[in-house]
Amino acid sequence: MHIAKVVDFVETPTPSLVMEYFPLGNLEDQNREWPITMEETLDLLFQCLVALNYLHLRNVGHRDLKPANLLVEGRNPLSVKLADFGLAKVETAKSHMKSFVGTLQYCAPEVYLGKRYTPSVDLWALGVIVLEYAYGLLAEARGRRRMDNDQCVSMKKRGAAWCQCLVDEANDWDLDPLIDLLTVAMLRIDPEERLPAGQCLKKGAIWSFSMGTTLTQEVPYRQSKWIGKVGSVIMTTLRLSYWRLFGANQRLPMRKVVE
């Protein structure tokens, strides 16, 4: 189900969970060593959808889905597992998700706006990851810092504008099966319009079948045709938008937690 396993628990000298070993590290590290290909991006998309479907059917939201929390089992073919459940939460009738937590680059709009939210924030985050690796729409974010409450108010507005910028740029791309899946099912400002992970899996399969090909076969050709001419323009546009929103000299913090 593409979720990292806990294989043991020790109580001394310090209580610790022992996880299975991933010698290749996380997806962010692997991308630095050897860039993730389009085919691999599609693999991680569907593997993560399988993991999220398992979690969301049990009302569990990960709430910090990002490349650094995707551990890599292998690259030929790519196999990843979702890890780091430090911010995960189970949604119940008496316990709702409303804390401002996660990694800002991948936070859903409703998190920025301080609204009560659901595990569907994970679908938004996965959509942003795929957008980043498949189309090169995001600059790599590094660094981390906490912010005080006064800054949080401004961050909510800037964050919401950043999310809208991502949606607008994704919607400007010519149609292909992958961008359709992202814009129709995952990267939706209104969380009610996002499809559950299971439906995203079904929709991806239907689109592949209807085209008489697979997403893996179709998208790399289109990407190779566009990325040189259009990709750099879109990346530049997004970077300029990001600098206007968050400051030209400010790196996007990797994690923001408000107690």
258 in any annotated domain: no
At residue 162, does pLDDT exceed 80? yes
**Mean pLDDT calculated for residue range 29-42:** 93
| Interval 164-175: pLDDT, tens | 888 988 888 877
Q: Measure the CA–CA gap between 232 and 191, rounded to whole angstroms.
A: 29
pLDDT winner (highest mean) among 68-77, 149-158, 167-176, 228-237: 68-77
At residue 245, does pLDDT exceed 60? no
At 81 the pLDDT is: 97
At residue 139, does pLDDT exceed 80? no
At residue 55, does pLDDT exceed 60? yes
| Interval 83-119: pLDDT, tens | 999 999 998 888 889 898 999 889 999 999 888 999 9
Domain count, the chain: 1
At 141 the pLDDT is: 28
149 in any annotated domain: yes
Question: How far, in Å, are 16, 20, 87 from residue 7 at the CA level?
Answer: 11, 6, 20
Catalytic residues, which ones?
64
Domain containing 186: what range? 6-246
| Interval 205-237: pLDDT, tens | 766 544 444 444 434 433 433 333 334 444 444
**239: domain CATH number?**
1.10.510.10
* % of the chain with per-residue pLDDT over 90: 48
At 152 the pLDDT is: 53
Query: When comparing pLDDT for 196 and 238, which is higher?
Result: 196
255 in any annotated domain: no
Label residue 143 by pLDDT band (50, 70, 90): very low
Query: When comparing pLDDT for 204 and 257, which is higher?
Result: 204
Residue whose token pair is 């938004």:
124
- Taking residue 168's Cβ as centre, other Cβ atoms within 10 Å add up to 12
Query: What sign does the CA torsion over 138, 59, 72, 217 have?
Result: negative
62 in any annotated domain: yes
**Mean pLDDT calculated for residue range 147-170:** 74
pTM for the structure as a whole: 0.76
63 in any annotated domain: yes
SS3 79: strand
**Mean pLDDT calculated for residue range 74-81:** 94
pLDDT winner (highest mean) among 72-81, 151-160, 235-244: 72-81
At 12 the pLDDT is: 87
Label residue 256 by pLDDT band (50, 70, 90): very low
- Taking residue 230's Cβ as centre, other Cβ atoms within 10 Å add up to 16
194 in any annotated domain: yes
252 in any annotated domain: no
Q: Measure the CA–CA gap between 176 and 207, rounded to whole angstroms.
A: 10
Share the mean pLDDT of the chain: 78
1 in any annotated domain: no
